[in-house]
Structure 1
Amino acid sequence: MKISEMKHYLPGLTAVNFRLPDGTALPAHFHVTEVGLVTKHFIDCGGVERKETVANFQLWEAGDYDHRLAPQKFLDILNLSQRILGREDLDIEVEYQQATIGKFGLAFDGTDFVLTLKQTACLAQDACGIPDHQFALPQLQTAGCTPGGGCC
């Protein structure tokens, strides 16, 4: 999700809710503790220099169970953060504390903002010898397999 999309959705909401990828709702008393600009400047395993920049939101919960972040207040925070983020329509990355700090993408399902899973990937697959195609599980033939049948 991009910043412009979030700004588009917020005015139509009566409450700001976030859900984890498994559907679990974040506690309603969450805080947005940071809105920042994160730039990652790196060299991939193929030797190509790259730079990625995202808007980063840090969500946090405290013991103030009566706290609620209203949609307009969140929009005000986003507008204020434009001094740091600039005018570029950046992708949003969300940090949320679990067993460790989790990094998520963001989507909207029409009612709630949904934290989406992020995956690592090789950006230089050709240089690493990784084939263009991956073998999909449906290629495995398991129909007719029975315990002790020798096909598994």
Structure 2
Amino acid sequence: MKISEMKQALAGLDAVNFQLPDGSFLPSHFHVTEVGLVSKHFIDCGGVERRETVANFQLWEAGDYDHRLAPQKFLHILKLSEKILGREDLNIEVEYQQATIGKFGLRFDGQHFVLTTKQTACLAQDACGVPAGQFALPQLQVAGCTPSGGCC
């Protein structure tokens, strides 16, 4: 989800709710504690230099059970964050504390903001010997059965 899409969604809401990938919801007293610009400059395993930039939102909850973030307040936070984010329509990444800090993508289902799982991937599959379009998964062997053996 891009910042412009979030702003558009917030404009039509009465309440802001975030849903986790497992279907549960963040407590309604959550806070947006940070809105930041995260830039990643790296080299993939094939030696290609890459850059990625996202708007990062950190969600947090405390014991202030009467706290509610209204859509207009969230829009105000986004307006303030333009000092850091600029006016570029960036993709949004969400951080939320669970057993460890989780990083999520974001989508809107028409009513709620849904945190989506993120996956790692090899960006240079040809340089690593991974055939295009295939994932490198651990090879399972169960009772003499192998993935290429025809029994799975």
TM range, smaller chain? 0.7 to 0.9
1:45 is aligned with what amino acid?
C
| SS across alignment from 1:81 | helix
Size of the aligned set, in residue pairs, is 137
Q: What is the alpha-carbon distance in structure 2 between the residues aligned to residue 52 and residue 127 of structure 1?
A: 21
Could you say which residue in structure 1 is the equivalent of 2:63? 63
Could you say which residue in structure 2 is the equivalent of 1:73? 73
Per-residue Cα deviation, 1:38-68 (whole angstroms, up to 9, x for no partner): 0011000000111100000000000000000
RMSD of aligned alpha carbons? 1.0
Q: What is the alpha-carbon distance in structure 1 between the residues aligned to residue 97 and residue 133 of structure 2?
A: 35
1:25 is aligned with what amino acid?
F
1:2-151 map, 5 Å: 2-134=2-134, 151=151
- CA offset at residue 134 of structure 1? 2.7
Q: What is the alpha-carbon distance in structure 2 between the residues aligned to residue 63 and residue 41 of structure 1?
A: 37
Q: Indicate the percent of aligned positions where both proteins have the same amino acid.
A: 84
Structure 1 residue runs of 4+, over 6 Å off?
A: none
TM-score by length of 1: 0.88
Which structure 1 residue ranges, 5 or more long, are not aligned?
136-150
- CA offset at residue 133 of structure 1? 3.3
- CA offset at residue 132 of structure 1? 1.1
Q: What is the alpha-carbon distance in structure 2 between the residues aligned to residue 101 and residue 82 of structure 1?
A: 25
Q: What is the alpha-carbon distance in structure 2 between the residues aligned to residue 117 and residue 29 of structure 1?
A: 23
Which structure 2 residue ranges, 5 or more long, are not aligned?
136-150
Q: What is the alpha-carbon distance in structure 2 between the residues aligned to residue 4 and residue 37 of structure 1?
A: 15
